[in-house]
Amino acid sequence: MEAGLSIAEMIASLSKPTVSLVLGGSHSIGGPLAVSAKYSFIVPSGTMIIHPVRSNGMFIGITQSLRNMIKTQDRITRFLADHSHMTQKRIEELMLNQRELVKDVGTLLEGKDAVREGLIDEVGGMSDALNKLHEMIDECRRKKSENM
């Protein structure tokens, strides 16, 4: 999780045009990676799963461990909100939804639902993502030539 969030932060801080495309299912750190680009696409059959931070294996059940998980979850939801069109409050509502996923909490958003919620910018495929990237590159070139 730490490495994935670090990669998402790095992508978000790039000064070059960036476009992401969600194919298949994206969950866990895939959410921050998808929204880290300046513009994001999801295919119609793609999914974004918003769920709480989880732990596997042996876990020391003390207050400090819980606080650490809550802080980690807050960092993720804050990143998602800062790099999408969703509020942190709405992300947390979907994350803690107990009715959506069987025997678990969270929400599965299909392509158009991810766009409607504001998590992803647009439904589209590879050609849409490449066209958008070229459009963004051309815009950067135009701005650069205007400043010369």
pLDDT at 99: 79
15 flagged as catalytic: no
Tell me the mean pLDDT in the region 114-141.
97
At residue 114 the predicted structure's pLDDT band, cuts being 50, 70 and 90, is very high
Tell me: pLDDT of 102 over 70.
no
Per-residue model confidence as pLDDT tens digits over 35-82: 999 999 999 999 999 888 776 666 666 777 778 888 888 999 999 999
At residue 6 the predicted structure's pLDDT band, cuts being 50, 70 and 90, is very high
Q: Which of 51, 55, 127, 134 is catalytic?
A: 51
85 flagged as catalytic: no
Domain-wise residue ranges, the chain: 2-131
Q: Which residue has the higher pLDDT, 83 or 25?
A: 83
pTM: 0.87
CATH of domain 2-131: 3.90.226.10
Per-residue model confidence as pLDDT tens digits over 86-99: 999 999 999 888 87
At residue 2 the predicted structure's pLDDT band, cuts being 50, 70 and 90, is confident
Four-residue CA torsion sign, 53, 104, 34, 112: negative
